[in-house]
Amino acid sequence: MTPIPPSQLIEALNWRYATKVFNRGKIIPAETWAALEQTLVLTPSSYGLQPWKFIVIQDKVLREKLVPFSWKQRQVADCSHLVVMTVKKEMTEAHVDTFINRIAEVRGGTADALMGYRNMMMGDVVKGPRGQQAAQWAKHQAYIALGSLMTAAALLGIDSCPMEGFVPEEYDRILDLAKDGLTTAVLLPLGYRSEIDPYASLPKVRFEAQQVIEHR
């Protein structure tokens, strides 16, 4: 892998902003979107357990149904692709075993050889204290995916708008998530900014580095 220049990364992050108005007629090319989906697949998570499902919505009718439950924010309807980041409401032994089997499949070896790792996960996020707060734990993992996808999108010249302003219960109902034991954690509309979005030209407001970074 050839690293990009540091200046290119900072340029992309300065260019990125929480897009308020999307260009409704401009769609992310299929090849670019495929790369962004792989960003989601490759997102790290605690233990590697990936306690999520990312629902990509392009259906215009469905997205319009979500607008009233998104604090009437049009980004969910006007973007190119809407990613609804959902997470498991509880972690189960079956999920851990599926992951263990996947490790054996990809890396070789047997599930039996991974019993120590399996038991450690079971004792933490299934039967341990964090298992009692599995949904909250999983939501923390979803925010790793959110940041990863936003950064990747910026590097590819794709706009995005992270959103917590929505009614999770209504999203869960409309998307029929209960049957899969999922709940909505956070949203990320992606696409291209509109020329009429006044926020696009505003300078980014951040505290100075010395106020948020401490070296020891």
pLDDT digits (tens, 9 = 90+) for 20-52: 999 999 999 999 999 999 999 999 999 999 999
Looking at residue 85, its pLDDT comes to: 99
Instruction: Tell me the C-alpha distance between 111 and 147, whole Å.
Output: 32
Which residue, chain included where needed, has tokens 């204290």? 129
In this prediction, residue 75 has a pLDDT band, given cuts at 50, 70 and 90, of very high
**Which tokens go with 210?**
């010395």
Contacts of 57 (CB under 8 A, 6+ apart): 63, 66, 81, 82, 83, 84
Indicate the average pLDDT of the chain.
Answer: 98
pTM value > 0.95: yes
State pLDDT tens for residues 89-130: 999 999 999 999 999 999 999 999 999 999 999 999 999 999
Report the candidate in 205, 201, 88, 66 with the shortest Cα–Cα distance to residue 139.
Answer: 88
The percent of residues in the chain predicted with pLDDT above 90, rounded, is 100
CATH H-level, domain 17-97+129-212: superfamily: NADH Oxidase (3.40.109.10)
What is the rounded CA–CA span in Å between residue 18 and residue 188?
10
Give pLDDT tens digits for 119-140: 999 999 999 999 999 999 999 9
- What's the pLDDT band for 195 if we cut at 50, 70, 90? very high
Could you tell me if residue 101 is left (phi over 0), alpha (psi between -120 and 50 degrees) or otherwise beta? alpha
Q: How confident is the model at residue 151, as a pLDDT? A: 98
